Structure 1
């Protein structure tokens, strides 16, 4: 097979890149090791920055997001049982975020790709990429028991943290940065009305909480737990009781509980790979960086990578210019590290760190007092939350 851009990974990053390139008349082939149903079953974040929402519009897949997504002009920080609202719109000149599940983003992109007749190879085993440091990158995979060989102009690695693309880069050509946090998030999804119209980030002596939602009838809640915890040890009743003990009195009174649709524990880590370009191979999304979910930057960072990469490739094919390609890694990483800083800061601010209980707690309290008492500090928080400009 021959294509202009081979995209490895059919998650939101790969699909969004494919859609933007298709609309520009650039041929793409996507290969994905999982089935389409499996990709849609992944439960992930759902807070879209304004820039991400605008990119969905640019890709021609924003209609359902605009109709069904929940526009949020603020969120709350709960500290010592007191709720404090961060007014995003007032602090950022009218900007906000849209709550729209990653599953729905993926569904819209898959529907658009199918309607365009653009090829995707699902359940592709033994994916290998070769010669990406030359002008003729190649790849192969096994689909339905048959080996498929692909020639491409470029390869986009959108295949996640455990994907083949970053793993194919020689060790001496890449530098990895990582921070692992000593706790995780226990998440529960339920068909119950959210406890609040806006997200609530809570700091409590028993651990961090997040009250979120996917729709007016579907809620998503998180508890900070040690990494030694097991999901099977958390009954629905135990989860709801622990959540109620950590949230503010108003939220505890309004909380509506119900059977869980899904429970899981996600460890928290920060990770960055530098650079993000290797000849004609480009890394994007989780293949290049991971952020803690605090602040909801993961999907939005993937979208910003795709924005830069799609612009670079379109510029290459339309103008025969390599400027965008040559600057891709530097442009992405400048934004990545700012998002990493914000996610690290908000994680450090709102979670309990048992290794330094006294000192850390006092620093957190001082920082929270400053943030809640200073409009300038709240503006910095709000500007980062809605997304820094491209």
Structure 2
């Protein structure tokens, strides 16, 4: 087989890249080790930045987002006895949208299926070859177990932190921070108890009230690393959430409901540089991971792909390497800004058990909530910097 761009990974980064490349007149083939059903059902991010929404709309992928998504003007910051609302639109003129990654994935699958995109699911033994030559290739076993080879002008690694693409960049520099706590996340079939997300600092640990729809709530608790979800009963979960989120404070109530999913997410920051090696280009989690506190993971992948698609169209169609040569540096300026913001939000809101740290965190929260400059800085980063930052 031969194509212009071989894309490894059929998550949002890989499918969005194939979509944007097709709009630019560049062919691609997508390879994915998981099944289509598994990829479509993965529960991940739920907040889209202003810039991400603009990009999806400009690519013809915004109709269902606008019809079924929920636009939020801001977030609530909370600590015991206080809840402050930050209005991003008033502060920066930019909002965010609650629209889960599963919904973005559905839109992308529908669009690529309608366009006849070639996608190979459930492939095995994926290996990259000759990525510094002008004839790179990918070998793999197809769903039937037959050996296949895909030749391309360019390979795009959109296969996450555990795929083969990241390891195919030799002598890369990796920066990593592992946090001493995790998120215990639940999905519950109950209407959200809040109009917009609540980020809560509490001596017992951080809590977040998010949502997926008008009938499904997504909530998180800070827990120690290595926590077994089965060790927490439903009653224990709701009691901890009620305590940390301030049930009864100023008459506010947390409404419990049937829990349909429990998972524990370790927290880490990871950045690998460069994001290019020869004719291999990395995007999304293949190059960087952020803790979810700043709602940046999916949005960073979208930003990477927006830059990469333009670079690859120019490289493949026009033999112009200017954007391709600048891609890694251009993408990483935004990556490091979002990595810092995610670290900042995480360390401001998660407790360590140290009383000194706690007083610093409360001081920071009070400043952000009461200072125009502090609130604007948080709003600017959360609602999203321009993709070309």
Fold conserved between structures, TM > 0.5: yes
CA shift for structure 1 position 169: 2.3
SS where residue 294 of structure 2 aligns? Answer: coil
Quote the residue 2:74 is aligned against: 74
CA shift for structure 1 position 228: 3.1
Quote the residue 1:47 is aligned against: 47
Q: State how 1:45-194 maps to structure 2 within 5 Å.
A: 45-92=45-92, 94-143=93-142, 144-170=144-170, 173-194=171-192
CA shift for structure 1 position 53: 0.8
CA shift for structure 1 position 76: 0.2
- Please, which runs of 5 or more residues in structure 1 have no aligned partner? none
String of CA shifts for 1:325-353, please: whole Å, max 9, x gaps.
00000000000000000000010100001
Quote the residue 1:366 is aligned against: 363
Q: Tell which deviates more after alignment, 360-369 or 195-204.
A: 360-369
SS where residue 152 of structure 2 aligns? Answer: strand
SS where residue 254 of structure 1 aligns? Answer: coil
Are residues 1:383 and 2:380 paired? yes
Q: Distance in 1 between matches of 2:61 and 2:184?
A: 31
Quote the residue 2:288 is aligned against: 289
Verify the 8 A CA contact 2:48 2:96 in the aligned structure 1: yes
Quote the residue 1:200 is aligned against: 198
In the alignment of these two chains, the number of paired residues is 385
Verify the 8 A CA contact 1:293 1:343 in the aligned structure 2: yes
Verify the 8 A CA contact 1:191 1:219 in the aligned structure 2: yes
CA shift for structure 1 position 253: 4.4
CA shift for structure 1 position 168: 2.1
Quote the residue 1:272 is aligned against: 271
The alignment's TM-score, normalised by the length of structure 1, stands at: 0.97
CA shift for structure 1 position 250: 4.8
String of CA shifts for 1:281-307, please: whole Å, max 9, x gaps.
011000000000001000000000001
Quote the residue 2:223 is aligned against: 225
CA shift for structure 1 position 58: 2.2
Verify the 8 A CA contact 1:199 1:212 in the aligned structure 2: yes
SS where residue 153 of structure 2 aligns? Answer: strand
Quote the residue 1:216 is aligned against: 214
Q: Distance in 2 between matches of 1:314 and 1:168?
A: 23
Quote the residue 1:308 is aligned against: 307
Q: Distance in 1 between matches of 2:95 and 2:198?
A: 15
CA shift for structure 1 position 254: 2.6
Taking a change above 3 Å as real, the CA distance of residues 382 and 250 of structure 1, as seen in their structure-2 partners, is farther
Q: Distance in 1 between matches of 2:119 and 2:151?
A: 15
Q: Distance in 2 between matches of 1:80 and 1:287?
A: 38
CA shift for structure 1 position 59: 2.1
Taking only aligned residues, the RMSD between alpha carbons, in angstroms, comes to: 1.1
Are residues 1:11 and 2:11 paired? yes
String of CA shifts for 1:236-284, please: whole Å, max 9, x gaps.
1111111011112357843221211110000000000000000100110
- Please, which runs of 5 or more residues in structure 2 have no aligned partner? none
Verify the 8 A CA contact 2:153 2:316 in the aligned structure 1: no
Verify the 8 A CA contact 1:83 1:248 in the aligned structure 2: no
Q: Distance in 1 between matches of 2:37 and 2:202?
A: 38
CA shift for structure 1 position 126: 0.3
